[in-house]
Chains A and B, each alone.
Chain A
């Protein structure tokens, strides 16, 4: 039978290999799933893993999808490292989008390009407001941040619904729940003509650098990590857990809000009830698979966006449901957590419990057989 044996030191090799192993297992399960659905597994894997990389346009689409995932995951990485469980990034994303839309709609035909900056800032502030509520309730009333942030996701969704069905509904929109299409001046500038990818990508890459510095080179980052790894040690050192709570939540809320603003002022160009695309939840997986490390998050962000795009392609090309994406994402996190055990434990194959080795038949019964004298 299999037995788990604790390693004396965490395996660095497994730290890096675990996500790869988890990915491999997910692919195997995915193949089985394709076969079960009566589809050619090779084609299925191709659609998920090769198609998204085939052309320059495909690559830019990949980058576009990865941007909000990376942005949100960076903030969540800081949160999870500090042992603050912000599960409501989706809600912060939505509120950021609402705030950004609000500012975008104040533009008229004479507004300059500066409005883009205002739009993005509004997004950040909106997200921070939403996560700030969570921080406040935890700080002041000790309310569990997992449940509060999650409840606020549902509230944010309803808020969005209210705005697009009500006060912000486009009067010329044939009664569809959507706002006006924002003026071109408010759109996030694209990077290359002909491609949809915009400066959000640049912002994301800069954020990766900034977060790396924060986490690994600043004392503030050190304090956050200690708070998450050993709260008693953080208290001993005099690190403020309040400061950590607020920093983590405001930072992640701001990042989620920024992602929301980039979506709404970028590819969407208006506010609709379909703004919440689950990025806030997918980002949780991105953060974990990326080992809560800014550089790892780039890779896992790209991987997750491959799942998204692959899911869309699988729907249009193979007639597979889009919800397959969600299945794969959840499965990946599950297998990753299982594989992570290998970082701290070794697997040993052991025959059924052996009885302790019996003594030689010689010289038992008389005492002082092997006493080591004083």
Chain B
């Protein structure tokens, strides 16, 4: 029972990483822009966050640093894709490749640096409830912030006018432009917010999840987050659930190893990636379902009439 509670706790922790990134990607995909640079942004943010934590000793500054790094890279991507109309997929890939190299380059001096002792968090009283306490209430505050963010995003998208405008832009930027909305500006904001959230996710990885810096430590979570937004058909609540699901699969491998299951470790490590493929297959089978739910302008070029 104890180990199950630990597994749940670890799932929430791991899922939060994906949640922040996927929610960020959801925002820009809702505006019609797909940013394949998620992995690169998260890596740069991870090293930025780690460096900030090392130099300031503050986790919250680290998250801010990661968010800033993510937003900056996203802005560069956004300018290219939105104003210069470069191919979204190629530009996103370029960002990922650049981010991978750049983060490795900048991170060299931090591979030996250690962070101060990590504090542990618990909610008083609630944490003493048997099983539920250890499972749910001994989490880093960011875990709860992720949940709150999901709710806020859902409200924003479906209950506010600004969210309606965002969805409209993702549906048909031409029509939104004809109605007088500053489509390009709004898209850039969406892309930068998305980048900031990916940045928070990256910083979380290097500062909370596995507090260290190692080249390539994001290990594909950026790509999984991209798959997650499709899997969740661009709805915040589903994204959160999906994130926890993936977090669970990732944590399962450690759990199984701990239980002494006799499978070579490499196959266990493969699990989240195979799970992603399975999930993609399941959700994509019904092409109509995807088309009806997908922001129609994703990936397409937009030329506001001169």
Contact = CB atoms under 8 A, between A and B. Distances in A.
B233 interface: no
B75 interface: no
Nearest to B303: A6
Contacts of B84: 4, 337-338, 341, 345
Contacts of B76: 334
A148 B283 CA distance: 13
B254 interface: no
A144 B284 contact: yes
Contacts of A329: 97-98, 101
Contact of B226 (A147, A154, A337, A344): A147
A326 B89 CA distance: 19
A333 B220 contact: no
Given A147-B227, A323-B104, A330 B97 contact: yes
Interface string B251-276: 00000000000001011011001101
B261 to A, nearest CB: 15
Interface string A288-301: 10000000000000
Contact of B266 (A141, A158, A333): A158
Contact of A162 (B264, B273, B290): B264
Nearest to B269: A158
Nearest to A287: B90
Contacts of A326: 97-98, 100-102, 104-105
A340 interface: yes
Given A326-B104, A341-B86, A142 B287 contact: yes
A141 B281 contact: yes
A165 B97 contact: no
B100 A155 contact: no
B281 A137 contact: yes
B274 A155 contact: yes
A288 B277 contact: no
A4 B227 CA distance: 34
B118 interface: no
A314 to B, nearest CB: 11
Contact of A337 (B80, B224, B269, B276): B80
A321 B105 contact: yes
B223 interface: yes
Contacts of B86: 337-338, 340-341
B226 to A, nearest CB: 6
Interface in B66-103: 76, 80, 83-87, 89-91, 93-95, 97-102
Interface in A1-32: 4, 6
Contacts of A321: 104-105, 108
Interface in A144-159: 144, 146-148, 150-152, 154-155, 158-159
B281 A334 contact: no
B80 A155 contact: no
B266 A161 contact: yes
B171 interface: no
A62 interface: no
A173 interface: no
B102 A155 contact: no
A147 to B, nearest CB: 5
A159 B266 contact: yes
Interface in A140-185: 141-144, 146-148, 150-152, 154-155, 158-159, 161-162, 165-166
Interface string B105-118: 10010000000000
B174 interface: no
B161 interface: no
A162 B266 contact: yes
B285 interface: yes
Given A329-B101, A330-B98, A146 B89 contact: yes
A143 B277 contact: yes
Contacts of B281: 137, 141, 143
B186 to A, nearest CB: 19
B120 interface: no
Contacts of B223: 147, 150-151
B280 interface: yes
Given A327-B101, A330-B98, A141 B87 contact: no
Contacts of B102: 326-327, 330
Interface string B188-205: 000000000000000000
B297 interface: no
Nearest to A335: B94
Contacts of B99: 330
Interface string A251-271: 000000000000000000000
A201 interface: no
A132 to B, nearest CB: 14
Contact of A333 (B98, B219, B267, B284): B98
A284 interface: yes
A82 interface: no
Interface of A: 4, 6, 85, 87, 137, 141-144, 146-148, 150-152, 154-155, 158-159, 161-162, 165-166, 281, 284-285, 288, 321, 323-331, 333-334, 337-338, 340-341, 344-345
Sorted nearest first, the 7 A-B pairs with minimum C-beta distance are A326-B101, A330-B98, A323-B104, A162-B266, A333-B94, A330-B97, A341-B84
Given A150-B223, A323-B215, 17 more contacts: A4-B84, A147-B226, A147-B227, A147-B277, A148-B277, A151-B220, A151-B224, A151-B273, A159-B270, A162-B264, A281-B97, A285-B97, A323-B108, A326-B104, A330-B102, A333-B97, A337-B84
25 contacts: A4-B84, A137-B277, A141-B281, A141-B284, A147-B277, A151-B220, A151-B223, A151-B224, A151-B276, A155-B273, A158-B270, A161-B266, A165-B266, A281-B97, A321-B104, A326-B97, A326-B98, A326-B100, A326-B102, A327-B98, A330-B94, A330-B99, A330-B100, A337-B90, A341-B85
Interface of B: 36, 40, 76, 80, 83-87, 89-91, 93-95, 97-102, 104-105, 108, 215, 219-220, 223-224, 226-227, 230, 264, 266-267, 269-270, 273-274, 276-277, 280-281, 284-285, 287, 290, 303, 306
